[in-house]
């Protein structure tokens, strides 16, 4: 009985470790209902998962920028965010701008995103796209940190000749 309990505990710990280190990849997300995205991104935020944006993240998907901590989201060179005013269908099914939904989106976006949107005409029926250089300072690049780590580690290994390491090791033994 005790062994079964320990095994079960080990399984739960392993699941917890793997979910916290998991990565969600957004590639071609056209958006959808704000409420569903709020729930989904809240779950991702709670799980500790990282998010990689590697393509289109349009409409409600853009809430990822305000709902996931900045240190857990990055964008590749293919990332493209598309912003527009929120809408809902009228009784005939035609889209009608929703001021309340648009305000909810605006409140979720961090200040740098709101500034960018304002400089590009604001949230309207027309979608505006943020990509490439416009992402600098708003979302981290997925590519750059890997290069920086590699350069640092190369410097660390090449900065001191091997004989210096042997000399310091010999002096440590004394």
CA distance 81 to 37: 15
Q: What is the pLDDT of residue 148?
A: 41
- CA 76/CA 51 separation, integer angstroms: 11
Predicted pLDDT of residue 53 = 97
Which H or E element spans position 115?
helix 111-119
- CB within 8 A of 129, min separation 6: which ones? 80, 81, 82, 83
Query: So what's the pLDDT on residue 21?
Result: 61
Q: What share of residues in the chain are helix, strand, coil (percent, to 5)?
A: 55, 20, 25
pLDDT of residue 61: 97
pLDDT by position in tens, the chain (length 174) = 444 443 333 333 334 434 456 899 999 999 999 999 999 999 999 999 999 999 999 999 999 999 999 999 999 999 999 999 999 999 999 999 999 999 999 999 999 999 999 999 999 999 999 999 999 999 999 986 444 434 343 333 333 333 443 444 444 444
Question: What pLDDT score was predicted for residue 22?
Answer: 84
What pLDDT was estimated at residue 143?
A: 82
- Beta strand pairing status for 50-58 and 73-75? parallel
């Amino acid at each position: 009985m005790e062994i079964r309990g320990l095994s079960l505990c080990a399984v739960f710990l392993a699941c917890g470790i793997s979910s916290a280190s998991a990565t969600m990849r957004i590639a071609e997300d056209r958006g959808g209902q704000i409420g569903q995205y709020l729930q989904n991104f809240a779950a991702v935020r709670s799980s500790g998962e990282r998010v990689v944006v590697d393509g289109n993240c349009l409409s409600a998907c853009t809430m990822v920028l305000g709902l996931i901590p900045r240190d857990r989201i990055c964008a590749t060179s293919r990332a493209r965010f598309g912003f527009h005013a929120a809408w809902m269908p009228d009784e005939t099914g035609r889209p009608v701008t929703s001021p309340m939904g648009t305000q909810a989106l605006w409140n979720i976006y961090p200040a740098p995103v709101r500034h960018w949107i304002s400089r590009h005409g604001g949230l309207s029926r027309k979608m505006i796209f943020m990509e490439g250089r416009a992402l600098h300072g708003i979302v981290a690049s997925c590519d750059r940190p890997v290069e920086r780590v590699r350069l640092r580690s190369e410097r660390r290994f090449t900065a001191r000749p091997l004989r210096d390491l042997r000399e310091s090791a010999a002096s440590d033994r004394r």
